[in-house]
Amino acid sequence: MKVTGIKQLDELLNPLDKHWITEFYGDFDLVLRVMHYTMVYKSSENTVYVVFNVEFGGIDTLYLVKLCRIFDCKLDNIVISRAFRLNDAVEILEDLASKNNSIVLLAFPYNYLPFNPAKYTEATRVTGIIAKIAAFNQVILFNTVSKHGNHMPEGGSFHHHVVKVIVKLKQSRGVVYAELLKHPVKQGGRRIFTEKTLDYPLHSLKRRTILEWFTSTQYSPGHALMSMR
C-alpha cells in the first residue's frame, strides 16, 4: 500500500493494513512537508480530512498546487479543519469518527496538551478518538518529538501503544533519514532520500502537452480554495 507517494517511505512502511494507525514524527518543518506531500497524493484516491492543530500558518497552498499539478490530484478532495485548543481538536475528531472509508490526516494532534506532565492524562481524550476513527478509516499522524525529552512521539504511553507503525524523520545536510521504530510484522529499518525529493517529486504516469498544461482550468486559483473549518 502506498501511503505518502514517496517511494522510500512507502517501501519502509510496507506491508501495511489501512486500519493500522501510521505515524511520522520528528522536526516540525520536515514533518509538515511530508504531510503536504501525503495530503496531495492521497487526495487523488478519496476525500482527505485534515485536522491541523496549529493556531496560525502551516498550510502552504502554493506548495499544494505545485504538487497537485504533478500528481494530477483533486484539491477539492482536501477538507481542512483547524483547532485552536484541545477541546476544538476533540470536537473535530468526534465528528470524524462518523466517517467511513475516508483518509484522515492529523497534524500535531497533541499540540495543545498542558506542559505539566502530571496533566498528560488529557492526551487519552485525543488518543481514544483516534483509535475509534481508525476502525473505519485510514489514519495517518504527523507528530513532533515529546517535549519531555524521551525522543519518542508526543502523546504518552497510551498513544505509543495504539499507534501500530511509527517512523522517525530527521534531516541533515540535504538528506532525509527515515527510521522505522515500530511495526507489527517486520523489524525496524531505515531509508534515506534527498530533500529535493519533496520539492521535485516524480511526475505521475499521466502526461500532458505544454498546451494542456497552460490551458487547464482544473488547477486554477479558484480550485486551490479548500474547505476550512
Question: Which residues, listed in sequence order, are joined to residue 24 by a DSSP beta bridge?
Answer: 142, 167
- Position 221 confidence tier, pLDDT thresholds 50, 70, 90: very low
Average confidence (pLDDT) over 123-149: 92
Question: Are the beta carbons of 120 and 156 closer than 8 angstroms?
Answer: yes
Residue 159: is its pLDDT beyond 60?
yes
Of 228 and 164, the one with more pLDDT: 164
Share of the chain above pLDDT 70, in %: 86
- Position 223 confidence tier, pLDDT thresholds 50, 70, 90: very low
SS3 175: strand
Q: What is the pTM of this model?
A: 0.84
Residue 90: is its pLDDT beyond 50?
yes
Order of strands, sheet of 190-194, starting from the edge strand that comes earlier in the sequence: 190-194, 175-182, 165-172, 22-26, 138-144, 103-107, 48-52, 78-82, 227-228
Distance (Å, rounded) from C-alpha 17 to C-alpha 1? Answer: 8
CATH architecture for segment(s) 7-228: 3-Layer(aba) Sandwich (3.40)
Query: What are the grid coordinates assigned to 21, written together?
Result: 494507525
